[in-house]
Amino acid sequence: MALSGGALGCSKIGGEGIAGQPQYAAPTVSVAAIGTVTANPHTVSWTYSQKQQGQRAGAAPQEFYRIEYISDDGSITYSDTGWVSGADTSYATDLTLLKNSATGAALVTNGNTDLSVRVSVRGPVAIGTGDADRYTSAPDTEDFTALNLGVPTLTPGNVVFGSTSMGTNATYTMTSLSAVTINWTYAHGGSGEAQHSYRVKLLEYESGVELFDSGWVTSAATTYTLNYAFLDDFKYTVSMQARNTNYVETT
């Protein structure tokens, strides 16, 4: 079969539509309102939309998303996932792990009114080949009204050597000892979160070298027996921490 007249035109699939117009419009993202946050991990959710020219929304699927936790003015970044492959429209983050990317300072997790989350999305890679910006949304940002995850406290209680209670002194003298039981009182600071877990460490007093670490133990218990071959005439430090159900640690 012969063709005559004008040349047969071709263009990349998903590239140019009728009259040279892009076949797909830029995607949009809308982040759900956040308000005051009192639970952790925090889940941000969003709505993705991308229209094919002249057709309904959703004609081209989301293939990538990016989540950033930032200060309200954007000058501080606490977390940036980079581009994540997937069509998910929600993402959970443990806010107690976030740090200022420039200074390493931990995010303030109680009474914080200077925090926002920014979400960006991208459509299919094949559509955006050679013109990726056209298929990347403008970011949408939502402010936290406030972040209030609680301020738990821990108060040391009686120390027991074997079966002998030694009271609540700051220092103790021990001889031929193989077990120390420590006790503490946990308080949520008025915000209501229960104790989620605790951690006990044993260190050399002078050097601070760690001799034992229980790791985080998921329990509401407020007592712990430390079995260790303690040496006579040797100084030790025992430290204890607890954290609430939002994973905020006592100091």
Q: What does the pLDDT read at residue 112?
A: 97
Domain ranges of the chain: 20-148, 153-244
Q: What does the pLDDT read at residue 132?
A: 57
Query: For residues 21 and 30, is the Cβ–Cβ distance under 8 A?
Result: no
Which CATH number does 20-148 carry? 2.60.40.10
Distance CA 67, CA 45 (A): 10
Q: What does the pLDDT read at residue 13?
A: 36
Which CATH homologous superfamily contains domain 153-244?
A: Immunoglobulins (2.60.40.10)
Distance CA 53, CA 96 (A): 43
Q: Which amino acid is at 35?
A: G
User: What are the Cα distances from residue 37, in Å, to 41, 227, 251?
Assistant: 10, 40, 22
User: Which stretches in the chain have pLDDT values below 70?
Assistant: 1-24, 52-59, 125-134
Q: What does the pLDDT read at residue 178?
A: 81
Instruction: Give 79-89 pLDDT, tens digit per residue.
Output: 999 999 999 99
Q: Which amino acid is at 108?
A: V
**How far apart are the two ends of the chain, measured CA to CA in Å?**
83
Give the residue among 72, 71, 66 at the shortest CA–CA distance from 93: 66
- Residues 6+ positions from 210 with CB-CB distance below 8 Å: 201, 202, 203
Q: What percent of the chain has pLDDT over 70?
A: 83
Q: What does the pLDDT read at residue 15?
A: 42
Query: For residues 149 and 41, is the Cβ–Cβ distance under 8 A?
Result: no
Domain 20-148 matches domain 153-244 at the CATH topology level:
yes
Which residue, chain included where needed, has tokens 């738990």? 152
